Amino acid sequence: MLWSLLLLFALTLLLPLIPYAVAYVNPDAGGVPNPGSELWREVRHANVGTTQVQGVDSGVLISEYGERWRQYRMQQLAPWGAMVLGAMVGIFIVYYLVRGKIRIEDGRSGKRVRRYTTTEMTVHWILASTFVLLALSGLILLYGRWLLIPLLGASGFSVTATVCKLLHNYVGLLFAAIVPIAFFLYLKDSLFNLKVDGRWFMRAGGYFGGEEPSSEKVNAGQKMWYWVAMLGGFVLITSGLLLDFTNLFQQGREWLMGAHVVHTIASIGVIAFFIVHLYLATVGVEGALESMVNGHVDANWARQHHDLWYQELQAGQDSTVPKEGLKAGGTHAGGVASPLVKD
Amino acid sequence: MARMKFLCDAERCIECNACVTACKNENEVPWGVNRRRVVTINDGSPAERSMSVACMHCSDAPCAAVCPVDCFYFTDDGVVLHDKDICIGCGYCFYACPFGAPQFPKNEAFGSRGKMDKCTFCAGGPLPDNSPEEFAEYGSNRLAEGKLPLCAEMCATRALLAGDGDTVSEIFRERVTWRGASGFAWGWGVAYNKPGIRRGYAVEDKATGGD
């Protein structure tokens, strides 16, 4: 009984090895492999054949890249993008509830100082409006199928999506024109000053407690936003032009899918930073928005948030800058009496 | 219920492009749009094969999955169709489709492509069957008349098969059984009885010197 069981066990292990043994002794015994199998394996990797049909990518019989792009768009971009943007909005709701609006500590002085020129404001708002239009239309095209079709119906959303597509494709060109202008216009103020900005970053700008570190006309966070927006903008413009002008050099699907992946990752990144900027410039910091609305800020706001810039203004020739503000600020956190200035 | 399928037998396709012409004529598709095309791989070498390809009416269709406006739908016969009145011409279906089936009448500046057009398995679109409106937008609706797609009906070598998946695969299985599946049926080596060059294309190419 035991022997028969052992024999059975041994046979179970050994019998499946027979074909390997046969193949080892006589490699040709397995028959000739189907040459077609090799051919179709190659075809799956987008081998280009010949065809009488004239068109972009017509010679490609089967392309696997589309499936990879589908996985990217449906299983990575859509859910992860929503999580990133949702988390950013969530963080600022919580931040607002915990920290509240960052006030002008000494109250308004009633004296205003010039912060931005008319050109700077105009370029800012052209950039801002084109960016918001592009971001919204892009997000609607990405998420509308889930969010808006239940509300508007398929036909209704089709109209919305058509408008969004047209807006995105035409306003994109305006965005492409304004970003280089913005780049050179704000470049001077946005170059990092390692000493001041390094310290600002170490203290996280004082947003999470501690006194607000010194900053120049533009603080380190704003400089970072400038670089994210500008470099992200160039990536968005380059990839966007490839997608917008498909007849540029008759780029095929692989180019378009690659451009789409780059475009969407960059856009989620820039929109995430934009949420930070939007919050801090409007509800987050009292007295910040008016700098871009009428070009002026309150002297106390300038002293509190951009002390080094304010000192520069006081040292300058502009007679409208109150000279006595310097003394008043000495006793307050975030005022000019920071250790860095004493250096 | 039938599950409609195309199958192109690469051992039989002779790249005559009759399917392409038949489709274009039957459906009166716009200039620049070809719902079907014949692709030849390894043109001129002993491993040459041709395949007629159009929309393969996938069960898990990538075009339908990525469509931002959800304009695709599936008929009871498993045919993938789309609503041109909803389509916004974004081109995403063209990216996602492995077969390059979605076609666009235009390729102009500012992403202007026009409404997507593709093989309908000669099953028209969402408009009333065989109405002039349906014909103008989607072409012929032969399925509603009990006929199969014209490309396959026209195929002279019966390389292109269309119909219920069970029937199509039965026909193909029978063919493969008769001619053998391991590639003996094709090529110079078989015709001139040179056994050494039967195995695979690599050997064949060397032996024939690209003849």
Q: Which residue of B has its CA nearest to A170?
A: B110
Strands A112-114 and B37-41: unpaired
Site from B13, B110, B176 to mutate, A interface, most A CB atoms within 10 angstroms:
B110
**Are B39 and B101 in contact, with CB atoms under 8 Å apart?**
no
Q: Going by C-beta distance under 8 Å and a sequence separation of 6 or more, which residues neighbour residue A203?
A: A210, A211, A212, A213
What's the rounded mean pLDDT across residues A280-300?
92
What band does A207 get if pLDDT is binned at 50, 70 and 90? Answer: confident
Q: SS3 for A74?
A: helix
Buried b (16+ CB within 10 A) or exposed e, A218-250: bbbbbbbbbebbbebbebbbebbebbbbbeeee
What's the rounded mean pLDDT across residues A229-250?
93
Instruction: Name beta bridge partners: B103.
Output: B117
What's the rounded mean pLDDT across residues A80-105?
94
Q: How far are the Cα atoms of A135, A178, A235, A286, A295 from residue A125, in angstroms, in the given order?
A: 15, 10, 21, 20, 12
Using the Cα atoms of residue B180, residue B181, residue B185 and residue B189 in order, give the sign of their dihedral.
Answer: negative
What band does B87 get if pLDDT is binned at 50, 70 and 90? Answer: very high
Task: Report yes or no: B107 at the A interface, CB cutoff 8 Å.
Answer: yes
Instruction: Report whether pLDDT(B18) > 80.
Output: yes
Instruction: Report whether pLDDT(A244) > 70.
Output: yes
pLDDT tens digit sequence for A293-311:
999 999 999 999 998 999 8
From CA A252, how far away is CA A270, in angstroms rounded? Answer: 27
Tokens of A198: 């390094």
Task: Report yes or no: B51 at the A interface, CB cutoff 8 Å.
Answer: yes
Instruction: Report whether pLDDT(B69) > 60.
Output: yes
**B41–A49 CB contact, under 8 Å:** yes
**Highest mean pLDDT range out of A154-158, B45-49, B205-209?**
A154-158
**Are A278 and A222 in contact, with CB atoms under 8 Å apart?**
no
From CA B99, how far away is CA A57, in angstroms rounded? Answer: 10
> Chain A 85-144, CB below 8 Å of chain B: which residues?
141-142, 144
A112 or B45, higher pLDDT: A112
Q: How far is A24 from chain B (nearest CA, A)?
A: 18
Q: What is the pLDDT of residue A116?
A: 94
Q: How far is B85 from chain A (nearest CA, A)?
A: 8
**A39–B83 CB contact, under 8 Å:** no
What band does A36 get if pLDDT is binned at 50, 70 and 90? Answer: low
All structural domains of chain A with their residue ranges: 18-63, 65-342
Q: Which residue of A has its CA nearest to B15?
A: A51
Selecting from A36, A66, A155 the residue whose C-beta is nearest the C-beta of B62 gives A66
B113 or A342, higher pLDDT: B113
**A51–B39 CB contact, under 8 Å:** yes
Task: Report yes or no: A58 at the B interface, CB cutoff 8 Å.
Answer: yes
Q: How far is B127 from chain A (nearest CA, A)?
A: 14
**A161–B67 CB contact, under 8 Å:** no
Buried b (16+ CB within 10 A) or exposed e, A19-54: eeeeeeeeeeeeeeeebbeebeeebeebbebbbebe
**A32–B32 CB contact, under 8 Å:** no
Q: What is the pLDDT of residue A229?
A: 96
**A165–B90 CB contact, under 8 Å:** yes
From CA A162, how far away is CA B85, in angstroms rounded? Answer: 11
Selecting from A141, A245, A256 the residue whose C-beta is nearest the C-beta of B95 gives A256
What band does B198 get if pLDDT is binned at 50, 70 and 90? Answer: very low
Task: Report yes or no: B53 at the A interface, CB cutoff 8 Å.
Answer: yes
What band does B192 get if pLDDT is binned at 50, 70 and 90? Answer: low
Q: How far is B197 from chain A (nearest CA, A)?
A: 11
**B91–A256 CB contact, under 8 Å:** yes
Q: What is the pLDDT of residue A277?
A: 95
Question: Has domain A65-342 been given CATH number 1.20.950.20?
Answer: yes
**A32–B182 CB contact, under 8 Å:** yes
ipTM metric: 0.84
Q: What is the pLDDT of residue B43?
A: 84
What band does A164 get if pLDDT is binned at 50, 70 and 90? Answer: very high
**A165–B85 CB contact, under 8 Å:** no
For residue A286, count CB atoms less than 10 angstroms from its CB and return exposed for 0-12, middle for 13-18, buried for 19 or more.
middle
What's the rounded mean pLDDT across residues A283-301?
92
**B68–A141 CB contact, under 8 Å:** yes
Mean pLDDT for all residues in chain A: 87
Instruction: Report whether pLDDT(B152) > 70.
Output: yes
The CA radius of gyration of chain B, in Å to the nearest whole number, is: 19
Q: What is the pLDDT of residue B190?
A: 56
Tokens of B144: 């509603």
- Which residues of B are less than 8 Å from A247 in CB distance? 107-109
**Highest mean pLDDT range out of A100-104, A250-254, A305-309, B161-165?**
B161-165
From CA A308, how far away is CA A123, in angstroms rounded? Answer: 25
What band does A32 get if pLDDT is binned at 50, 70 and 90? Answer: low
Q: Which amino acid is at B55?
A: C
Selecting from B34, B88, B112 the residue whose C-beta is nearest the C-beta of A53 gives B34
**B98–A256 CB contact, under 8 Å:** no
Q: What is the pLDDT of residue B157?
A: 92
Mean pLDDT for all residues in chain B: 86
Q: Which residue of A has its CA nearest to B99?
A: A62
Task: Report yes or no: B62 at the A interface, CB cutoff 8 Å.
Answer: yes
Selecting from B37, B42, B65 the residue whose C-beta is nearest the C-beta of A74 gives B65
What's the rounded mean pLDDT across residues A182-194?
93
**Are B138 and B29 in contact, with CB atoms under 8 Å apart?**
no
Under CATH, what is the fold of the domain B4-177?
Alpha-Beta Plaits (3.30.70)
Q: What is the pLDDT of residue A334?
A: 41
Q: SS3 for B147?
A: coil
Task: Report yes or no: A74 at the B interface, CB cutoff 8 Å.
Answer: yes
Q: Which residue of A has its CA nearest to B51?
A: A61
Task: Report yes or no: B113 at the A interface, CB cutoff 8 Å.
Answer: yes
What's the rounded mean pLDDT across residues A275-280?
95
**Are A247 and B109 in contact, with CB atoms under 8 Å apart?**
yes
